[in-house]
Chain A
Amino acid sequence: MPKGSVAITAERCKGCGFCVEFCPTHVLELSSAFNAKGYHPPHMITAEKCSGCNLCGMYCPDFAIFGYKFPDLKGGKVGPA
């Protein structure tokens, strides 16, 4: 059961790979698909490992990705870490 997920705005991505390299649980990978500018945006390969820590969102220079935590049973709030 993943603790969180990431949201990706593929059209803003420039394919620099910072989020893929610095994800602490190695959730992301650059996909083989293209966006409108011809870059390869990332996609999740092991979504169950995502902790929603939002480190990808801190690294993304183009504001194209961010992580958020799922609400837990103890009543935590939805939103970025």
Chain B
Amino acid sequence: MSTTPELAILNPVEEVLRKDRIPTIWCPGCGIGTTVNSFAYALMGTGIDLKKTAIVSGIGCSGRVSGYMALDSFHTTHGRAIPFATGLKLANPELNVIVYSGDGDLTSIGGNHLVHAARRNMDLLVVCVNNMIYAMTGGQAAATTPGNSMSTTTPYGSFEPEICLPQLVDACGAVFVARWTAFHVKQLERTMAKALKKKGFRFIEVVTPCPTLYQRRNNMGDGLAAMMDYKNSQQDQERRPHLRSGHGARRRYHRR
């Protein structure tokens, strides 16, 4: 085994991180840090002016991201990340404003703000880290909690189905909508880089594991099990495209 020499180079993402804040508060197996990696590489790769970039977060596990990025950052009240970002953008239109927050914050408590910012086509990039539960506040059911899943506020399983965020935001008129999981790091980086260069309301949903509060209550294993699940479900869809609704399904119907 070759001995690793003492390195003069540092982890390249540390360029846009606040090193004094690391280690992060996130649980082992949480996928939020993985999305931060993709975001950091996208920020550095596009070469946008970091002095004119601001990041706004609400409350929650994903709301901590603004505190870990070495950008102008705002940690706002619960659900009100988009209104703060709207004000920031209107007061200083030169800024690149990025909202980086969680699903409970952006779509459950601040759901109206998301809908109307998309309707007004505010010039914001919204990254929604969807871990399907209110994680930091103790595992309450959110609007994105899938039906029949357990949480602290739904001990008999949640009765309502979840919101499909990309379809919601698309219906409200956003110019760029994407969804990836924490497993798809390279694809997520490319999508974020593409979205950073566009104008208008851009929305990226990232599905991430929450091993402590969502998966543990629903017998879904740890963070690694969720990542493997994202990987395998994607490979299933690639190998058997007729399972997807759409072109393949229609073709199979005609053949019959």
Q: Which residues in A have some Cβ–Cβ distance to B below 8 Å?
A: 2, 5-7, 9, 11-12, 14-18, 21-22, 39, 44, 47-48, 55, 57-63, 66, 68, 78-80
Contacts and interface: CB of A to CB of B under 8 A. Distances in A.
Given A21-B224, A47-B1, A55-B185, A61 B34 contact: yes
A5 B4 contact: yes
B228 A21 contact: yes
Interface string B163-174: 000000000000
Interface of B: 1-2, 4, 7, 9, 11-14, 17, 22-24, 26-34, 36-38, 41, 183, 185-186, 189, 222-224, 227-228
Nearest 4 Cβ contacts at the A-B interface: A61-B33, A14-B28, A58-B185, A66-B11
B9 A68 contact: yes
Contacts, number: 88
A79 B17 CA distance: 18
A58 B34 contact: yes
A72 B158 CA distance: 57
A79 B9 contact: yes
A69 B166 CA distance: 38
Given A5-B2, A47-B2, A63 B9 contact: no
B9 A78 contact: yes
A60 B13 CA distance: 11
A74 B75 CA distance: 47
A11 to B, nearest CB: 8
B103 to A, nearest CB: 18
